[in-house]
Chains A and B, each alone.
Chain A
Amino acid sequence: MSENKRKIEVPVMADVFAKGQKPEYLLWVGSAGAFDDRYKKVTRAFVKILEHLKISYAVLGVEESSSGDIARRAGNEMLFQMQAMMNIEILNGYEVKKIITCDPHAFNTLKNEYTDYDGNYEIIHHTQFLRQLITEGKLKIESGIFKDKTLTYHDPCYLGRGNNEYDAPRDVLNAIPSKKVEMKRNKSNALCCGAGGGQMFKEAEKGDKEVFIERIEEALATNAEVVVTACPYCMVMMTDGLKYKNKEEEIKNYDIAELIEQTLDL
């Protein structure tokens, strides 16, 4: 098997649309996916999967702007609605129908909240998309690189409790040959990573402990070797937790997209 590398030119909506093409999916990168160093890797991993499976997609690129999730949750409704309406204008301009995103916060906001301002799309979280590909047989995982590893999955609040999606990420993990272990608090009882509602961007209020430390301790108690997440904020918090516990060498923190990227050896 030859192993040449091909450079990916990520299709940008403005260009694609100008050529009269309409990609099937819009990939909503999100602010964290575009700017956070750690989560950029997840965006890149997911794009590689899309390319590998020859999915028809495009991104908004510089036309994308903050979904407004944080603004709304921090009480700045004015700013949220401005963001929402500007984004919707662009999305509707490109006649977008289906949106995939790796960010549960964008997923929630676009899916449930943009509908109040004529933003009606089918929103798919990347874990749901990956599961669908696996179910359809388009995505086959044969690699056993995680065979001897124990994985534990941390539920992002806005995917889990926020939108009742507990199974898609677990189904994807179950398709990866590996050992799985649940944390004590999981699914609808899962403990938040501590980042939502604008918390990630400010000092925590006075207390005995940081939320992410409480959560990483629970993850460590499972003796898992990989802490799996599916959210940019959870990623930041869990990584911080591992650093705080001096465990970042032994225990890895991956997004589900990265696990797939690795099993496919992209």
Chain B
Amino acid sequence: MSGETSSSLASPAAVAVPFKPPVVRRGLSAIVINHPTFVVGLAILTVVFVLALTADILYPGDPMDMVGPPLLWPFQDMEYPLGTDSLGRDVAAGLVYGARVSLIIGFSAASIGLLIGTLVGAIGGFFGGLIDNALARLTELFQTVPTFLLVIVIVAIGEPSLPVMALAIGIASWPTIARLVRAQFRSLRQQDFVMAARSLGYSNTRIIFMEILPNALPPVVVTASVMVAGAILTETGLSFLNMGDPNLVSWGSMIGGGREMLRTAWYLTALPGIATALTVLALNLIGDGLNEIFNPRMRQR
């Protein structure tokens, strides 16, 4: 070994080997290679999305209908690959339609929370002073109330339908975003580029939305993906407690329905439980991945 090394050092051919610059990957391939968990998360979420979108094609008809004999175990009858519940409803159909409910709730609730939170945080952080004080107190007020209780109260006052649940979860979850956006605005408004925008005579609205907000977004997007996961969990919890929309199959209501047969037919709770866990995991992986991708200290120029 040592002889080999010394000979290669001495040989002029070894010196002449051209220097290969390290391969710097950019764009999509860099994301795939540097952030594998992000890609896994994205893949899982894509599958859930595709299933939710194609639910009508995969399982035409109402997933609430009795289609076969009750309490078939998974793989017992390949017509119902994931089995049937105590009323003979197809579990696979329920999961696919439940994915639809979970995603709709998750994304619409997060959007509502994002909208309220961004507005409150941006206005408070940008203007500061009395406005900021008032908005910060309001944020704290909402934050001290337990999210789930607040959602239950709002749904109890309204009706257990998808829009009401999305609104309720959105209203209960905006304080996180508001605090984040406010902190971002407070640090960004001191920056020279904002000073420059003011000296150029830009309006406050333009400075907030065109100058500061784009720079404040990366951590907000990260938090938003986790918020979607939180909203899905909250919806599952609500449906489990029978407070969800009774006309829709959701993963929560499936878990709730299978609860009584936990010892004899545990697959009835396990399957929607796994579906929920996988989706939430996927969203968290995406959030972590986005955090790494946006983090300037980890970003390669």
Task: Judge: A and B partners, yes or no.
Answer: no
Interface residues of B (CB under 8 A from A): none
Interface residues of A (CB under 8 A from B): none
